[in-house]
Amino acid sequence: MFGFGRLASYDYFMHVERALSERLRAAGVEIAANVVDVSPTASIRRRALKLSEKISETCGVPDADGGPIHLIGHSTGGLDARLLASPSVSLSGGKRTLGWRPRLASVTTINAPHFGTPLASFFTTVSGQRALRALSALTVIALSVGAPPLSVVSTLVAAFARVDRALGFDLDILDRSTEALLRRLDEVRSLEVRTYIDRMKEDDGAMVQLMPEAMDLFAAGIEDPPDVLCQSTASLAPAPSPRMVLRALRHPRNALSEAVFAILYEITSRQDVRYPCAAPDIGKDHEASLESALGHLPERGANDGVVPVRSQIWGKLVWAGYGDHLDVLGHFAGPKKEKSKRVRPRFGIRSATKPKTTPGVEESEAPAHVDWLISGSDFDRRRFDALMDAIAAGLLSSAQNLPRRS
């Protein structure tokens, strides 16, 4: 939801790609990173097929000497990766697009809805579909060109809030808000975003599949791959409170952004006792990890604004903390410019591959962090670095342990 590859001259995954690349290269591992652009709301199976085709194109023959392959998916992308890695998966491309799987070393999911999300149920309604398109356009505009006009965002917030309460609001206002947002772009970028929005209209199968009732079947029918590291990260944001609203009122744009988040959070917090968006038993280790990271065990309704926190847990939970659904990708409030250093790994794991030269320290200008979804999580560079350290440590260890299979 809301995600994309490169759109309107903005790379959605650039912070994650850069951070992980720096860490692995500092450990002496040369990598090739590929961002896979899939239809934003297409079915998980169709998205997984596109992912498999991309891997086949970029990784060549199924040769173990070609190096390990790591799949990293945020949100629905984590489910695409899980489905593709499942030993029993059946895709229309057949074995032709799965010849690389002996080289698969790890699958990492970041804030993925392994047990579904109530927000998907809302987005399957007629009003929800229009709200999703409007919010997606808002995300692209806010990240790529800056804060959109207050008048447009306030109208959108009002419409979105009333739609959720089923008051029969004129849904054309959502469409007009989307159109007004697109006018903020030049002709070329506007066409890109319109195409992106149209793809949502053409195929929204993922929204149906991400409903808690449907993900109950997904969780029961999918297999985790043997000899492959399966790791996940999970985050939650504090529930919206009057104090947070008062703080945001000092800045009108922040107040509107926080209003959007509050609506998303409230919808996502709705839990059906029959389909609670969580494993029946998350395990004592995961409970201990959550309590250590958060200071308490989160309630069932706790979420990152899009996915319940307990729905995000799968495999080995390597990082947990406070942050919203976009924070964990590097979309948080930060300095306009900052220096990025290439240093030796801080996480204490070394790759078996020796560096060609001793890694030194190289400074380069990193892309600015931009945040439009104000959640009150206080996510910052320190937490982002800890998250990236945890993921990178898993990638390095899984590559070392990859069995050589013919």
Phi-psi region of 315 (alpha: psi -120 to 50; beta: other; left: phi over 0): left
User: What is the predicted pLDDT for the residue at 5?
Assistant: 85
Weakest-pLDDT range from 50-54, 109-113, 245-249, 329-333: 245-249
User: What is the predicted pLDDT for the residue at 247?
Assistant: 59
Kindly tell me the sign of the dihedral angle through the C-alpha atoms of 298, 300, 305, 306.
positive
User: What is the predicted pLDDT for the residue at 146?
Assistant: 79
Q: How far is CA 147 from CA 143, 272, 356, 366, 374, in A?
A: 8, 36, 44, 21, 12
Among residues 55, 58, 138, the alpha carbon closest in space to that of 101 is found at: 55
Q: Which has more pLDDT, 271 or 82?
A: 82
Residue with tokens 């409230």, as numbered in its chain:
266
Q: What is the token pair recorded at 293?
A: 């990271």
User: In this predicted model, what pLDDT tens digit does every residue of 176-223 receive, in sequence order?
Assistant: 888 888 888 888 889 999 999 998 988 989 999 999 999 999 999 999
User: What is the predicted pLDDT for the residue at 93?
Assistant: 62
User: What is the predicted pLDDT for the residue at 315?
Assistant: 95
Average pLDDT over residues 55-67: 75
Q: What is the mean pLDDT of the chain?
A: 84
Instruction: Give the percent of the chain with pLDDT over 90.
Output: 50
50, HSE (Cβ side, Cα atoms, 13 Å):
15
Among residues 184, 73, 136, 163, the alpha carbon closest in space to that of 373 is found at: 136
Report the C-alpha gap between 40 and 300 in whole angstroms.
Answer: 27
Q: Categorize the per-residue pLDDT at 353 as very low, low, confident or very high, splitting at 50, 70 and 90.
A: very low
User: In this predicted model, what pLDDT tens digit does every residue of 82-138 receive, in sequence order?
Assistant: 999 999 888 876 566 788 888 999 999 999 999 999 999 999 988 888 888 888 888
Weakest-pLDDT range from 75-89, 118-132, 243-257, 321-335: 243-257
Q: Categorize the per-residue pLDDT at 48 as very low, low, confident or very high, splitting at 50, 70 and 90.
A: very high
User: What is the predicted pLDDT for the residue at 254?
Assistant: 74
Report the C-alpha gap between 68 and 396 in whole angstroms.
Answer: 10
Provide the whole-model pTM.
0.88
Report the C-alpha gap between 117 and 209 in whole angstroms.
Answer: 10
